[in-house]
Amino acid sequence: MQLTVNGDAAELADDATVADLVAQRAPGHDRVAVARNGDVVPRSSWARTPLAPGDAVEVLAPTAGG
Amino acid sequence: MSTQDLAPALAREEAGDPFVLGGETFRSRLLLGTGGVPSLEALEAAVRASGTQLVTVALRRVEASATGSMMTVLDRAGVRLLPNTAGCRTAREAVRTARLAREAFGTDWVKLEVIGDERTLLPDAVELLDAAEQLVAEGFTVLAYTTDDPVLGRRLADAGCAAVMPLGSPIGSGLGIRNPHNVALLREAVDVPVVLDAGIGTASDAALAMELGCDAVLLASAVTRARDPERMALAMRQAVEGGRLARLAGRIPRRWHAEASTSSEGLPAL
């Protein structure tokens, strides 16, 4: 399916979940947050939250900041 | 550089003068931002030299984020994390960012920052207050980055913010505290902690903030972009402690003319 991940077009398997996307995009990060169409998807729900065509997903991780 | 050589008197002052913020007690009144660090080694050295217990971090798209090792450094230092909402321009963005930060960092503390102008990065008062009200209602401990306007500061405190954090001057400018009078008025206007945030350039700026009655200082660039971040971190630590002691000790009144400290009694006729 076609969706937008971090502002760019992305192609994922039709049955992909948020957990699949995080595993692909943020390996090695243990403090990741995901927004799907603007709303937070709690970590506890990643594995049972399917993605849908056209979703806009943000996969975020820590960085330095003031 | 050793950071273990601070005078015992300072340690006693710290013990008797805890900083209570959001229901938590801190020994250190210096909050450190990580933005602008040249390297992880410099970050670790600066965090340790500063004595800080509360460090700001941000969230960005994972491609642009720091590697996990920044978090390893901060975890090893044992500091508490304070996520910010840097880059947000509306209440809606800031509230969403705070929710994401709560999920990522496992804390409901947030440095709320809602920017209204690209060039000066000055806060947008209207969006800021709106976001503060929403986040307080959602149970967040909100530390609000704001202008030095005492009236806005009072509105933020009334909205339930755990701290009001006025700027001394624009973020990263190093211009120090441009309106000390407003900062002092803001300190009088609210009952929550006041943290001078943004604009600190050097140690005397941090000391002035504390002398004006601020409860703590938050700074990033002044340390992370200094030629020697570790040494500047220690300078800031001592400036904050010195400024706090001076505030508690009570400065002498300013006089127009001199007031001799040596007695004129018994002055010989020569």
Residue B3: predicted pLDDT: 47
Tokens representing A1 are 């399916």
pLDDT at B1: 46
pLDDT of residue B15: 64
Catalytic residue among B29, B48, B102, B111: B111
Pairwise CA distance, residues B134 & B90, whole Å: 12
Q: Which residues of B touch A62 (CB under 8 A)?
A: 57-59, 65-66, 70-71, 104-105
Q: Active-site residue B211, yes or no? A: no
Instruction: From residue B206, give the alpha-carbon distance in Å to each of B10, B216, B225.
Output: 17, 9, 16
Name the amino acid, one letter, at B269.
A
- Residue B5: C-alpha distances to residues B1, B105, B159 (Å): 10, 34, 42
For residue B192 the two structure tokens come to 């929550």
Q: Helix (H, G, I), strand (E, B), or coil: what is residue A53?
A: coil
Say if the Cβ atoms of A64 and B71 lie within 8 Å.
no
ipTM field: 0.93
CA distance B17 to B184: 20
At the fourth CATH level, the homologous superfamily of domain A2-60 is Beta-grasp domain (3.10.20.30)
d(CA B152, CA A46): 40
Predicted pLDDT at A32: 94
Residues of chain B with pLDDT under 70: 1-15, 66-68
How far is residue B195's CA from residue B153's CA, in Å, rounded to a whole number?
11
Rounded Cα distance, A31 and A15, in Å: 24
The pLDDT value given to residue A35: 96
C-alpha–C-alpha distance, residues A34 and B219, integer Å = 29
Chain A residues with beta carbon closer than 8 angstroms to that of B123: none
CA distance A14 to chain B (A): 23
Task: Please answer whether residues B205 and B27 qualify as being in contact, where contact means their C-beta atoms are separated by less than 8 angstroms.
Answer: no
Considering only CB atoms, which chain A residues are within 8 Å of B33?
Answer: 65-66
Domain boundaries, chain B: 18-249
Q: Enumerate the domain spans of chain A.
A: 2-60
Please provide the CATH number assigned to the domain covering B18-249: 3.20.20.70
pLDDT over threshold 90, residue A55: yes
Answer whether A6 sits within 8 Å of B58, measured CB to CB: no
Q: Say how many CA atoms lie within 13 Å of B205 toward its Cβ.
A: 24
pLDDT tens-digit series, residues B115-155: 999 999 999 999 999 999 999 999 999 999 999 999 999 99
